[in-house]
Structures are given as structure tokens and as C-alpha cells.
Amino acid sequence: MSADMSFFDLVIRASFVVQLVMLALVAASIISWTVIIHKYKLLNRATTNADTFEDKFWSGIDLSELYKGISQRRLDRHGMEKIFESGFSEYAKLHKKSDSAEMLLAGVQRSMKVALSREEDRLDRHLSLLATIGSISPYVGLFGTVWGIMNSFMALGAVKHATLAMVAPGIAEALIATAMGLFAAIPAVVAYNRYAEKVDRLCNRYENFQEEFASLLHRQTMNKVQDNDGKVG
């Protein structure tokens, strides 16, 4: 058995099962990094958009003007913009039809809850994939290692005089599978924990905005009802 210990030769000479394990781990790593980069951009953009929208919303701008500016944009609306757009659109429609302030606000809250749920699903999408890759990759790599070492010891049984030079390449190629499993798992676990925390914070911001916006609409509705009662009186 040759004692050539270069990484490339060890991979090429590995058994078919170990090579399949390595290929699966490389694919898992590529998928993991694709998701990591995509979620990094998505969450950073969502945080920036939330900051920008909150600055506009609490700057004292007229809500009708803010709604027109958002709804006229051709780009997709997400995050707080989408929640605001859904709530204000429902408020504008029900305000003309409903005489009950309670029914109006209940309809607005239902609309915003649907939008909030969709935004949470959008932010959570593919995070479970990172968790899956992070949890199973070490075991897949360990399987490849066990298989490779098993083959090495089986090969030793066929010779009378075993040496370290004969068994070392087989064990080395088997251990590569464990290293590749860790290489795929560690970034996925770190990214999952980091992104899950960011998603929770964003969702909490969305929920807080929904409650604040609903309270604002409630005050405006009650003020209009009181004004109308005063005029009638």
C-alpha cells in the first residue's frame, strides 16, 4: 500500500462509500453557505428597511401620504411597510363601510396579523435547513470515518506483516470525512444561532409596530366618533 499522504490522493483513493460521504458533505457545505449569504443579505436589508420606515412613520408624516408613497412603488413591500400597507388599506376600506369602531379595528388587526405572519414565514424560511445541516453533518462524516477505518483493518487481515505505512493512508482518508463533516456543520450552526436571534428581534419589532399602529388608529377613530357626536349634539 502506497504511503502517499497528499490530500488529493487520499480523496481519490478513498473507497466508493467514503467518496459518496465526502461528496454529500461538500454539497451540504455549498448549500449551507448559499443560505448563509442569502439570509445575511435578507436580514440586513430587513433591519435597514425597518429603521428607515420607523423614522418616516414617527416623523409626523401624514399617514395617507405615507401609504400612497408605499403603494405606488413597484418594488415588493416587506416588513413594517407591508404590515402598515395591509393595515391602512383595510382601515381605508372599512372606514367607509363600517359604523362600528370595534368592527373596523378588529378588521384592521386581522389584516395586519396575516401580513405579520407572512413576514415571519419569509424571515424564517431556510433557517431549518441550516439547523439540519449543522446537526447531521458531523454524524455523516463520522459514518464515512468508521467505514474507512473498517476497510483499512479488513485489508490488514489479508497480510501477514502489518506496518504503520500500510494502514496510515486508509485511516487518514477516513478522518478527512470527519473533518469535512465539521467543516460543513460549524458554519451552519453558528449562522443558525445568529440568524435565529436576528429573526426573533425583527419579529418582535414588527409585533410592537403592529400594536402601536393599531393603538394610533384606535385613537384616531375614537376622536372622529367623538367629533361626530359633538356635531350632532
Map out the domains of the chain as residue ranges.
7-232
Q: Using pLDDT thresholds of 50, 70 and 90, give the confidence band for residue 184.
A: very high
* Ordered DSSP codes for 123-178: HHTTHHHHHHHHHHHHHHHHHHHHHHHHHHHHHHTT-SS--HHHHHHHHHHHHHHH
Give pLDDT tens digits for 83-107.
999 999 888 887 766 667 778 888 8
Nearest alpha-carbon partner for 57 in 47, 70, 73, 75: 70
Question: Helices 16-57 and 101-124: crossing angle, nearest 10°?
Answer: 150
Residue pair 36/133 in contact (Cβ under 8 Å)? The answer is no
pLDDT at 164: 62
Task: Tell me, yes or no, if the pTM score tops 0.85.
Answer: no
Rounded to a whole number of angstroms, the CA Rg of the chain reads 29
Q: Using pLDDT thresholds of 50, 70 and 90, give the confidence band for residue 82.
A: very high
Which whole-number Å values give the CA distances from 199 to 120, 173, 195, in the listed order?
A: 8, 39, 6
Nearest alpha-carbon partner for 145 in 22, 6, 5: 22
Residue pair 216/66 in contact (Cβ under 8 Å)? The answer is no
pLDDT at 69: 87
Give pLDDT tens digits for 145-166.
898 888 777 767 666 665 666 6
AA letter at 215:
S
The proportion of the chain whose per-residue pLDDT surpasses 90, expressed as a percent, equals 48
Question: What's the rounded Cα separation, in Å, for the pair 45 and 36?
Answer: 14
> What is the three-class DSSP state of 233?
coil
